[in-house]
Structure 1
Amino acid sequence: MTGDKKKAYPLRISAAVLDAMQHWSEDELRSLNAQIEYVLRDALRKAGRLKPGKAAPADDD
Structure 2
Amino acid sequence: MAGKKNFPLRLDPKLYEVLEKWAADEFRSVNSHIEYLLRETAARAGRLPSPRSLGPGTETQAPPSDSTTQD
Unaligned runs of 5+ residues in structure 2 are 59-71
Who wins on radius of gyration, i.e. which is larger?
A: 2
Seq. identity, %: 36
Q: What CA distance in whole angstroms lies between the structure 2 residues aligned with 1:55 and 1:43? A: 17
So what's the TM-score if we normalise by structure 1?
Answer: 0.78
Unaligned runs of 5+ residues in structure 1 are none
Higher relative contact order (CA 8 A, sep 6+): 1
Matching of residues 1-61 of structure 1 within 5 Å? 3-52=1-50, 53-54=53-54, 56-57=56-57
So what's the TM-score if we normalise by structure 2?
Answer: 0.69
What is the deviation of 1:16?
Answer: 1.3
Runs of 4+ in 1 over 6 A off after TM superposition: none
